[in-house]
Structures are given as structure tokens and as C-alpha cells.
Amino acid sequence: NAGVTQTPKFQVLKTGQSMTLQCAQDMNHNSMYWYRQDPGMGLRLIYYSASEGTTDKGEVPNGYNVSRLNKREFSLRLESAAPSQTSVYFCASSLQRRREAFFGQGTRLTVV
Amino acid sequence: GQQLNQSPQSMFIQEGEDVSMNCTSSSIFNTWLWYKQDPGEGPVLLIALYKAGELTSNGRLTAQFGITRKDSFLNISASIPSDVGIYFCAGQLGGNTPLVFGKGTRLSVIA
């Protein structure tokens, strides 16, 4: 089993460009999450989807949109990238009634 | 948003030493989790705690869910070089609320 798979692993964008980060899980989990990790800031929640068909804002949602495409896939879109969005992005998933979240390997995004 | 205060921020220890780190919050949590992140990787779950007072071990790692439900600690005994990484605590308030993470403890082990 692959667990949680994120693509791409690395990306460089110019300010104003758009892109979509993809995430897929094969563990039949209900809930999926997008976090960003910045030095000294820990993991901050951007958006989450408690179950298929629902999405909710997290702590730092501005500048992002998400789509829960189906139970397996949860994408994160940057419509107009800004240098402040330079970060490492992690997707995670969990069973709805259990709290343990399992993480992908991350996407390292640089906006210049 | 909710804040978890994780300490220390970083530690430099000699191989073989024991390590202790903790997380505190002003809120009551139903679940405490401890993760480890290796360089260039995503966090990996080490230990999950679900009951106040619960003490759980995973090899050389031991974690406890504080009886006030506002804190948790992680101990690593007899550290080895592969223990190097960032350790995160995470808590859940209840229901389907997402996890809240501490800012991490960066552990360096000197051989």
C-alpha cells in the first residue's frame, strides 16, 4: 500500500502563477487534511475535509482553495501564488472516528 | 486558533542519554499524539494516547496523557543517532475536530 501520495514533490512558481497540489490515499479514510510547514511554525492546518462532499477552513485558508474529488483524492489549489506561500505542504488522512492522521511525503513549493 | 506549547524547542544530547519533552495547552484535549519527522519526510506517528493518565510505550519511547488532559510528555531512553529529527505533539479537542500541532522539538544526538 502506498498510504498517502502527494504530487508533485517539488515545484517552483513565479508570483501570480496558479497550480494544484494533488493528494490521494488508499487507506479508505474518510477525512483528509492539508497542512503547511514553515520553519519554527510547526504544522498549520489550511483546509480539511471531514468526509466526502464536505470541506472546511482551517487556521490559514487565505489564498487557497480545495476540492474533495472523491473519497480518495483531495486537491489544494493556489490561484495566484505569492512568495508568502513558499512552504512545505503536507496532505494527511484519517478514519473519521479515529484521530491518528497519516501523512504524505510533502510538496516543497517555492514562489519567486 | 488553539495553541499547543511544546518544549524544549531544541535539544543537543549525547548518545545514550535519556530525553524528555512535553506539550501543554490551556484547553482540555481528548487525544494526544506524538509524531517524528525525519529530514525531507512527512511526520510519522509514534504513539497515540486516548485516556487521561494513560502511559504507553513503543520500544524506547514512552508517552503519557496528563491527568488534567491539558498536557502530555514523551520520553526517549538511551538515545541513538537515528533518534535525530523533529518531534511533534498533536492534540484533538473532540468529535471530528482536526488535530492541532505543537511547533516541534528538534533533537540532535552527538555520538
pLDDT grade for B76, boundaries at 50, 70 and 90: very high
Q: What is the pLDDT of residue A97?
A: 62
Q: Is B103 on the interface with A (CB under 8 A)?
A: yes
Of the candidates B3, B26, B20, B18, the residue with the CA atom closest to the CA atom of residue B90: B3
How confident is the prediction for chain B on average, in pLDDT? Answer: 94
The shortest C-alpha distance from A1 to chain B (Å) reads: 16
Selected residue of A43, A87, A89 to mutate for chain B interface (largest B Cβ count, 10 A): A43
- Name the one residue in this structure whose C-alpha cell is 508568502: A84
The shortest C-alpha distance from A41 to chain B (Å) reads: 5
Selected residue of B25, B36, B99, B103 to mutate for chain A interface (largest A Cβ count, 10 A): B99
Residues 6 or more apart whose CB falls under 8 angstroms from that of B95 comprise none
Q: What is the pLDDT of residue A41?
A: 84
B29: amino acid identity, one letter: F
Q: Which residue of B has its CA nearest to A34?
A: B98
Of the candidates B51, B78, B48, the residue with the CA atom closest to the CA atom of residue B63: B48
Nearest by CB: A103 against B31, B43, B48? B43
pLDDT grade for B2, boundaries at 50, 70 and 90: low
pLDDT over 80 (residue B54) = yes
pLDDT grade for B3, boundaries at 50, 70 and 90: confident
Q: Please, which residues bridge with residue A95 across strands?
A: none
pLDDT over 80 (residue B29) = yes
pLDDT over 70 (residue B59) = yes
pLDDT over 80 (residue B1) = no
Can you give the pLDDT of all 112 residues of chain A as single tens digits? 679 999 999 999 999 999 999 999 999 999 999 999 998 888 999 999 998 889 999 999 999 999 999 999 999 999 999 999 999 999 999 987 667 899 999 999 999 9
Nearest by CB: A104 against B40, B42, B102? B42
